[in-house]
Amino acid sequence: MSIAKSTRSRTLGALLGVHAGDSLGATLEFLPWARIQKLHPNGLREIVGGGHFAWPAGSATDDTDLTRAVLLAYRDRKAHLKQKSGEQETFDVTKAAADHSVKWLTGDWPGRKRGSRPIDIGGATNTGLSNYRRTKNPQTCGAGAGSAGNGSLMRCIPTALFTASPEQRIQESMAISAFTHNDVRCTVSCAAYNEMVASLVAGNSVSAAIETGKRVAEDLDCDAVSEAISHGQTLSIRTLAEEGPGDELPDRTSGYVLQSLTVAIAALTDPRGFEEILVDVVGIGGDTDTNGAIAGGLLGARDGVEGIPKRWLSELQFRDEFVDIATGLLSK
């Protein structure tokens, strides 16, 4: 059965939007806004690599690598269900995502020496995956309340794209977050974000998608996430890039999950094209690769893969693999 072009385009846009935002932002990671202004007065407009970790141009950082880990879990689930046709689903997609994430942690990964550690890994991610290696229980290994970084929000988008029902998407979004980031601000951010992505992929308006995200946060009794979404609606990405984050985004958008969610919502409400918005997102400074990835996923779901500059797509390490896996998952 053929795949509707709009669904395919928006699905690929979401996945590759994460990768493009990650790879663009990797060059500027940890730099403050004022330094970026001096280096790139017109914004960083090309995927060139480098940065704090000397990334090759187009390389996945931990953001895209861990998105890949979750994507591979959904690929594995479809393969399992195809083999077990007619049987009740028994595949644990959360455990599969954790298993693939451990492969990333231990160097069983494209472009890495087996046994090598990632050159960039967040504290909660390291804690959660290290705990999981010991316990093999994805429900009990998270870093705990108080660890509210953006390290699960950056990887969560495959659930939005390849899980059919809202109820199952919310459950899987929260569970896949929780094996590293089980603070409620993280788990609910992932659930709300993925429902917004799913709404956009379905062809709904930006305003309708945002209302869906707020409703999920409210239903899950997390006012902090709903407020972060509302805050994003009041901000201008263009102004933040021109004038700096200031008091609107204290601590230089350094990795707090709700700040990254707020930036992503501000990006989503910007009517300009994918490139102009992402250039400004990473121009704000701070955790630029992750903010770029999270915003890029929403924008890709909004604009479709055609909205991402072709010169950016051509640089992306996992472009072909992501297209192949996503196309297989969308086919009947």
Which residues lie below 8 Å from residue 156, measured CB to CB, with a gap of 6+? 70, 173, 176, 177, 190, 193, 194
* Spatial contact of 152 and 180, defined as CB atoms under 8 Å apart: yes
- DSSP state, residue 31: -
β-pair partners for 256: 149
* Cα separation, 53 vs 153, whole angstroms: 22
Give, in order, the Cα–Cα distances in Å from 59 to each of 36, 54, 131, 270. Answer: 21, 10, 27, 27
- How many other CB atoms sit within 10 Å of the CB of residue 42? 8
61 is in an annotated binding site: yes
223 is in an annotated binding site: no
Give, in order, the Cα–Cα distances in Å from 254 to each of 33, 54, 142, 271, 323. Answer: 12, 19, 21, 25, 31
* Spatial contact of 14 and 297, defined as CB atoms under 8 Å apart: yes
The structure tokens listed for 286 are 């701070």
The structure tokens listed for 254 are 């350094």
108 is in an annotated binding site: no
289 is in an annotated binding site: yes
* Cα separation, 122 vs 105, whole angstroms: 11
Which residues lie below 8 Å from residue 282, measured CB to CB, with a gap of 6+? 21, 24, 25, 27, 28, 36, 44, 288, 289, 291, 292
Residues making up the binding site for Mg(2+)? 61-63, 287, 289-290
Residues making up the binding site? 61-63, 287, 289-290
